[in-house]
């Protein structure tokens, strides 16, 4: 029979010195993210941690929207987390997106709806999928673009929510074409008028340049 070491006291248990900080950071992340399935999310969290990947963690706790009568699954905070996880490579596989989506405990039927709406194949252009995610949150075209700016901006919360104009053009053009009812000359004229308001030094456009007057 195999011989096992016998534990006689707690002092014999070797606790890695980094474990308390790991557990502390994990607890803070869980509180901020509020996952619906803690076990599923925890598996995704520690998998990403072990592989040195971006963690499935929100920047801050999101409060429930008082006017939201049903659970829509996706939220701006969760979409921002997905963007941090998947945007660096510009495109991702369907399997990778499904894995990250599931790790955030989001409903798979909502993902399948977005994939079907965008007619995506196995290779997914992330910014196009991101635009659809913003559309699911914003409803109208202008509201969707406002959501996109607030997620992508590097400005502080409550600031001008500026993003590169080139990024705005891609998001707007994709969603406008997806709508199908907007003439190309309307798209071109709108973007031309906005380009006059772009900051010439940094190439950024802010929410107030398009949202207030066109919502």
Predicted confidence band at 179 (pLDDT cuts at 50, 70, 90)?
A: confident
Q: Give the model confidence (pLDDT) of 32-57 as tens digits.
A: 999 999 999 999 999 999 999 999 99
Strand partners, 125: 91
125 has pLDDT over 80: yes
Q: What is the pLDDT of residue 68?
A: 46
Query: Can you tell me the mean pLDDT for 121-145?
Result: 94
Does 1.10.3470 match the CATH number of domain 139-215?
no
What was the pLDDT predicted at 110? Answer: 96
Q: Give the per-residue pLDDT at 160.
A: 87
Residue 89's pLDDT is 86
* Residue with more model confidence, 190 or 3: 190
Question: Does residue 215 surpass a pLDDT of 80?
Answer: no
pLDDT value of position 13: 75
Average pLDDT of the residues in 47-70: 80
**Mean pLDDT in the chain?**
88
Query: Whole-angstrom Cα distance, residue 145 to residue 141?
Result: 6
Q: What residue ranges do the domains of the chain occupy?
A: 18-56+74-126, 139-215
pLDDT of residue 67: 41
pLDDT at 154: 92
Nearest by Cα to 209 from 163, 173, 170: 163
Average the pLDDT over each of 73-82, 98-107, 184-193 and give the range with the smallest value.
184-193
Answer whether residue 59 shows pLDDT above 90.
yes
Rounded average pLDDT over 186-203: 87
Closest-CA residue to 171 (of 209, 193, 179): 179
DSSP sequence for the chain: ----PPP-SGGGS---TTHHHHHHHHHHHHHHH--SSHHHHHHHHHHHHHTTPPPS--SSPPPPPTT--S--S--HHHHHHHHHHHGGGSEEEHHHHHHHHHHTT--HHHHHHHHHHTT--SEEEHHHHHHHHHHHHH-SHHHHHHHHHHHH--SPTTS---EEHHHHHHHHHHHHHHH--S-HHHHHHHHHHHHTTS-TTT-EE-GGGTHHHH-
Pairing of β 163-164 and β 123-125: unpaired
Tell which wins on pLDDT, 135 or 157. Answer: 135
């Amino acid at each position: 029979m195999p011989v096992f070491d016998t534990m006689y006291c707690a002092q014999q248990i070797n606790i890695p010195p980094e474990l308390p900080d790991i557990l502390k950071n994990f607890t803070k992340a869980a509180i901020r993210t509020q996952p619906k399935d803690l076990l599923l999310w925890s598996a995704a969290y520690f998998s990403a941690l072990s592989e040195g990947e971006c963690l499935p963690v929100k920047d801050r706790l999101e409060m429930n929207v008082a006017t939201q009568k049903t659970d829509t699954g996706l939220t701006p905070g969760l979409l921002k987390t997905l963007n941090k996880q998947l945007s660096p490579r510009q495109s991702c596989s369907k399997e990778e997106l499904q894995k990250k989506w599931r790790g955030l405990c989001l409903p798979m039927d909502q993902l399948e709806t977005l994939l079907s709406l965008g007619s995506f194949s196995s290779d997914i252009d992330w910014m196009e999928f991101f635009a659809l995610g913003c559309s699911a949150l914003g409803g109208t075209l202008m509201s969707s673009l406002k959501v996109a700016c607030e997620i992508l901006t590097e400005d502080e919360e409550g600031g001008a929510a500026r993003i590169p104009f080139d990024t705005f053009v891609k998001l707007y053009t994709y969603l406008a074409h997806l709508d199908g009812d907007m003439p190309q000359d309307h798209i071109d004229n709108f973007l031309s008028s906005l380009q006059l308001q772009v900051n010439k030094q940094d190439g950024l456009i802010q929410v107030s340049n398009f949202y207030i007057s066109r919502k």
